[in-house]
């Protein structure tokens, strides 16, 4: 672990009144090694703090849990319009299977 003094001029900002949003993943081991891990996902808001979200996640019947902070990112689409994209940063836990991989595929329509 590498620890260094933080630069005091670096900006850490939170919009006034913004309530943090979280995503929780609860992983359950498969009944057979040939099968994939099962995952349930929940979006959590109005929590008193991340400690409460972690405690709730740990109380789920699961073999492994992850807690993510949700934040909004702004990007430009191909038409030059600014769009909001949800992003997630893991705060706690780890994926269920260190040797495996996970891919999330999002399908959208061009309407």
Compare 28 and 16 and report the one with higher pLDDT: 28
Phi, psi (deg, nearest 5) at residue 35: -95, 160
Q: What is the pLDDT of residues 87-103, one digit of tens each?
A: 899 999 988 776 655 56
Do the domain assignments include residue 74? yes
| pTM beyond 0.85 | no
Do the domain assignments include residue 54? yes
Do the domain assignments include residue 51? yes
Do the domain assignments include residue 4? no
For 33-59, letters b (16+ CB in 10 Å) and e give: eeeebebeeeebeebeeeeebbebbee
Q: What is the pLDDT of residues 30-68, one digit of tens each?
A: 888 888 888 899 999 999 999 999 999 999 888 999 999
């Amino acid at each position: 672990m590498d620890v260094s003094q933080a630069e005091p001029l670096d900006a850490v900002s939170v919009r006034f009144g913004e309530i943090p949003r979280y995503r929780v993943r609860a992983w359950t081991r498969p009944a057979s090694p040939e099968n994939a891990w099962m995952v349930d996902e929940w979006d959590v808001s109005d929590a008193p703090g991340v400690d409460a979200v972690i405690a709730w996640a740990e109380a789920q019947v699961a073999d492994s849990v992850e807690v993510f902070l949700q934040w909004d990112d702004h990007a430009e689409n191909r038409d030059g319009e600014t769009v909001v994209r949800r992003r997630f940063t893991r705060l706690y836990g780890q994926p269920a299977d260190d040797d495996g991989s996970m891919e999330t595929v999002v399908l959208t329509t061009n309407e």
